[in-house]
Amino acid sequence: MTSAKEYDDIPGTFVFDAERSRQGYHINMFCMSLLKAENRKAFKENEGKYLDQYPLTPEQRDAILTRQWNRMLELGGNIYFTAKLGATDGLSFQQVASRMTGVTEQEYAQMMLNGGRSPEGNRYKSEQKKA
């Protein structure tokens, strides 16, 4: 990302803005290609070869191949598009979200039933550095 924005100080998220959209265009086009059964099949047969169709950065390619969900978002992926990759892997959105938050699927479900993560002590990255 080239320009700092006030919302970059929010921990645990990557705001999908115009800049991040441009950065992740090819990640998102890859993910959207997975809407077609023949593309899912080709991807699962040889993931690396399938990704060669897209001019991804080495970091983007690695994040996809190693299923680093948060890193894909950091590198410009949109959660709604990257969910297509999760579905291709046979994962529900809840399963992907639990992996993104570092908790089990059951813990994630309970956290959501309880209203999500507590904002206490988790408002700004800059405040966490002071503590």
Domain edges within the chain: 14-90, 92-131
Determine phi and psi for 130, rounding to 5 degrees.
-75, -25
pLDDT in tens, 74-93: 999 999 999 999 999 999 99
Amino acid identity, residue 63?
A
What CATH fold (topology level) applies to the domain 14-90? Protocatechuate 4,5-dioxygenase; Chain A (1.10.700)
Given a contact cutoff of 8 angstroms between Cβ atoms, the answer to whether 78 and 21 are in contact is yes
- What pLDDT does residue 1 have? 46
CA dist., res. 60 & res. 78, Å (int): 13
- What pLDDT does residue 60 have? 98
> In terms of Cα–Cα distance, which of 87, 88, 72 is closest to 40?
88
Q: Is the pTM of this model over 0.85?
A: no
